[in-house]
Amino acid sequence: MLVNGQWAKDFHPVQATDEEGGFVRQGSVFRDWISVDGSSGFKAEPGRYHLYVGLICPWASRTLMARTLKGLESVISVSVVNPRLGKKVWRFGGFPGATDDTVNGVEYVYQLYQKANPQYTGQITIPVLWDTHRETIVNNESADIVRMLNRGFGALADDRFDLYPQALAADIDAVNERLYEPFNNGVYRAGFATTQSAYDAAVSDVFTSLDYIEDRLASSDYLVGDQLTESDIRAFVTLVRFDAAYYSLFKTNLRPLRDYPQTCAYMQRIYDLPGIAETVSIDHIKAGYYSIEALNPTGIVPVGPAGLFA
């Protein structure tokens, strides 16, 4: 954690807790926007923006999936952090599939935050969308970045997928809200709970959400309408990590995903889309989550699970 631009506190997964001992996630700070005409101060241009992600992180993987689905690989470059969570959180290189920072040449992601705001106070999170012209962070909120990639690059992007079509916007927003706190954040609320009651509530939310997903998929291939939307990206990144990390390490072990046949078929359907497999690394996911010393002090990484995406 940085305080007034200086490293002040080593990484701990529990950023804050509520009165019941529940996990509280920090909000994102950088919330600027890229626009086609540049009226936002950040104009959509090929080669101008760089995306910092981690294949362990579901929030970062949302943006990587959107970049792929919108065909922006040649427009926006990418660096992938080391999945292991050390004292200074996200580091570059040093793990198969991780890269160096080819844009700023720094060793740690926190140094990007220092460069963007020398007085920054807060946690160090990914994704980070970086502007190479203004040499600053545009945005570090995955929900914003997904929508920017969907609409903010105009003709530079592929129009085969509209991840947030206006005709479905209200339904997408409702599904997103239904899934975020109980499911996407619910697995973290379970894993990082500091009281039994907080854990019990979180696990109940997680499996109620899985039932909700399974029920919706019984009559449709996707969660909203008959097309892939950002709601599916949000669900997929949590689902693909479930058996590999959340089920055991986060104690969300009431039932494995194989008990949800519609959901498993849905995961496979999304995974098989062109380029999506390259945004998923079970090796990074396991190495990253099982490096969290507070939850796994021995650092032993399990060999399983065998099967889906493993």
Catalytic residues: 57, 188
Cα(149)–Cα(78) distance, rounded to whole angstroms?
Answer: 14
**Contact present, 83 and 95 (Cβ < 8 Å):** yes
Which stretches within the chain are classed as H helix?
Answer: 58-69, 110-116, 142-151, 169-179, 186-191, 196-217, 230-241, 247-249, 261-271, 282-289
Residues whose CB falls within 8 Å of the CB of residue 128, separated by 6 or more in sequence, listed in order: 30, 51, 52, 109, 112, 137, 140
Q: Which tokens belong to 198?
A: 């907080």
Cα(66)–Cα(187) distance, rounded to whole angstroms?
Answer: 22
Q: Quick one: residue 255, left, alpha or beta (phi over 0 = left, psi -120 to 50 = alpha)? A: beta
